[in-house]
Amino acid sequence: MKRYFSIFFLSLLIPFSAIAGESTPQAESYIFNISYEDAESAISKALSERMPPEETGGQDISALINGKKTTPLYSSNKPIDVEIRGLRSDDKNRKWNASMVILSGEEVISALPLAGRYMQMNEVPVLKRQIRNGEPITDDDVEMKKFPQVRIYKDTISDIASLVGNTPVRGISANRPIRRSEISLPAVIKKNALVQMRYKTENMEITTTGQAMVDGAKGDVIEVRNVASKKIARAVVVEGNIVDVMAQGVQTSQAAAPLAPINY
C-alpha cells in the first residue's frame, strides 16, 4: 500500500533558480521553500511507518538524499503541499527511492525523483561540554541525542543514570556516544594519601595505618603500604580513607568473602 505524507513549509525569502528545469532570474525571491532537510524528514517518517517494529527494533529511521545541496529543493510564490509517492526501499543495502510530488491545491505543479540511503538511529546520552578526568558528571552535563546505529557499540552507554556520578578515565569531548570503558567512579582515595587498613574475620578486626600507592574509587582494588611494616598489600577501597585488606590470592570478585589470616 502506498503511503502519502503531506508537508507544508513557510520560510524566509531565499533567492532560488533553475528548479525542475524552470529557469528564473537570480534576483527573484520566493516565499515558500522546501529544503532537502524537509524532504528527508518526510521520507524518514514514511520509511519508519512502513517498516514493522521487528525490523527497526523500535528505532527511528533517518533518510538522506543523494546529491544533497544547501539551496532549496523547490521554491514557489504560492502555498504548496508535498506528497511522497512510490516509496521503495532496499533493506539489504539500506537504499530508497521515491517521487516528491509538488501540489498547489489540487494541481500538480511538479514531480521530482529522489533517491538516497537510510540508517537506523539510536538515542544515547552525551555530554553537553568536555569534561576532564576527576570531574564528576552531573545531570546538568548530560542530554540525549540520536546517532546512526553504526556509531553505537555494544558497550556504548545507553542511559543517563549510568553516566551521572562517574568521571572520565581521560577527558571526554561533548556530543558523542560514550563507551563504558571511558568512565569510572571518581577516586575517593588519592595516591600517597594515608588510609586506615582494616583486616576483618568473623572473630576479629585489625586496623593499622597505610599509604595508598595509587588513586582508588570505591570498590577498586589498590596496593597499600603498611606504614609500620613497610609491606605492601592489596586492599579494596571501602570509602574515603578506609580499605579492607585482601588475603593473598583472593580475586576482586571474592573481596567481600571472609578473608584468611594474612601478615601485613
pLDDT digits (tens, 9 = 90+) for 161-170: 999 999 999 9
CA–CA gap between residue 194 and residue 58 (Å, rounded): 52
What are the φ and ψ backbone dihedral angles of 150, each rounded to 5 degrees? -65, -20
Question: Does the pLDDT at position 259 exceed 80?
Answer: no
Q: Which residue has the cell 600517597?
A: 192
Find out whether 251 and 194 touch, Cβ atoms under 8 Å: no
pLDDT digits (tens, 9 = 90+) for 50-109: 776 655 555 688 999 999 988 999 998 889 888 999 999 998 899 999 999 999 888 899
H or E, element range at 159: none
| Interior/surface letters 122-144, b for 16+ CB within 10 angstroms, e for the rest | bebbbbeeebeeeeebeeebbee
Question: Does the pLDDT at position 214 exceed 90?
Answer: yes
| Beta-sheet pairing, 194-200 with 242-245 | parallel
Position 56 scores a pLDDT of 52
CA–CA gap between residue 165 and residue 185 (Å, rounded): 7
Q: How large is the C-alpha radius of gyration of the chain? A: 30
Tell me the whole-structure pTM to 2 decimals: 0.58
Find out whether 6 and 83 touch, Cβ atoms under 8 Å: yes
Instruction: Please return the burial class of 67, using the count of CB atoms within 10 Å of its CB with bins 0-12, 13-18 and 19+.
Output: exposed
Give all strands (DSSP E) within 91-136, no chain letters.
95-104, 107-127
Position 258 scores a pLDDT of 38
